Amino acid sequence: MGKTWMWGGSVALVASALLAGCSGGTSSSGVRLVTITGEELEIADGNRCAVRGNATNSGNVSAKVDLAYEARSATGAVIGTSTASFEVAPFSNFEFRHSKLNSQGQPSSETFTNDLACDGISNFKRTSTHTENS
C-alpha cells in the first residue's frame, strides 16, 4: 500500500511540473491550459489590419486571454501595435478576429495602430500572452 501511494504522489508531482511549463495555470477552482494557433493577418473595416487566430482551452475553467502584437516593416522596425482580448470556455475553442465580439461586446482583436493596412505590414509577432481564470 505504501508503494502505491508513493507512485501516485510521483505522478501528481510530474503532472504539476508539466503544467507549470505550459501557457496556463492552476488555481483552487481548476486548471486552464490555453494554446494559441493559426495567427494570421486579416483585413478589417476601412482596409485596416488586425490579427485573427484560434485559442483552445483544454482546461476545466474559463480563461480570460490578453494578447499583444507588433507589426513590423521590411527593415524590422515596429510600425504599429495591436491587442486581442477575449474569454475561452472550458474544453473549447474561440476563434478571435476583429469581426467577432468578445464578452464585453468589443472586437476580440483590435486593428493595428496607425491605421495600418495588411499590405503595409511585412511581418508581425506576438509580444505578450496573458491568461487568467475568468
Q: What is the pLDDT of residue 15?
A: 35
Q: What is the pLDDT of residue 29?
A: 57
More confident residue, 100 or 23: 100
Q: What is the pLDDT of residue 4?
A: 40
What type of residue is 18? L
How far apart CA 78 and CA 95 sit, in angstroms, is 26
Q: What number does CATH give the domain 2-133?
A: 2.60.40
User: Is residue 11 a contact partner of residue 71, using CB atoms and an 8 Å limit?
Assistant: no
pTM: 0.78
Residue 5 confidence (pLDDT) above 50: no
User: Above pLDDT 90, what percent of the chain?
Assistant: 75
